[in-house]
């Protein structure tokens, strides 16, 4: 599906997300701004797994 998206895309910047991805309010701006300002060709970021997504009952350490 992502290959189809790349073929059909018309914009200058392409961002892929998984269906269960949650992002911060300014995530898109932070990722796209360096590209638009011609400072880089790509941006990367870290991801974090939210424990609630994997456990019905959270472990004690949480």
Structure confidence by residue, pLDDT tens digits, 2-56:
788 888 888 888 888 887 788 888 999 999 999 999 889 999 888 877 666 555 6
- Please tell me whether the overall predicted TM-score, pTM, comes out greater than 0.75 for this model: no
Sign of CA dihedral 39, 42, 48, 52: positive
- The Cα 58–Cα 62 span in angstroms is 6
């Amino acid at each position: 599906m992502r290959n189809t998206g790349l073929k059909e895309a018309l914009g200058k910047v392409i961002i892929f997300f998984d269906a269960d991805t949650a992002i911060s309010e300014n995530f898109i701006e932070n990722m796209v701004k360096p590209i638009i300002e011609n400072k880089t060709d790509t941006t990367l970021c870290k991801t974090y797994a939210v424990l609630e997504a994997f456990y019905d009952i959270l472990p004690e350490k949480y």
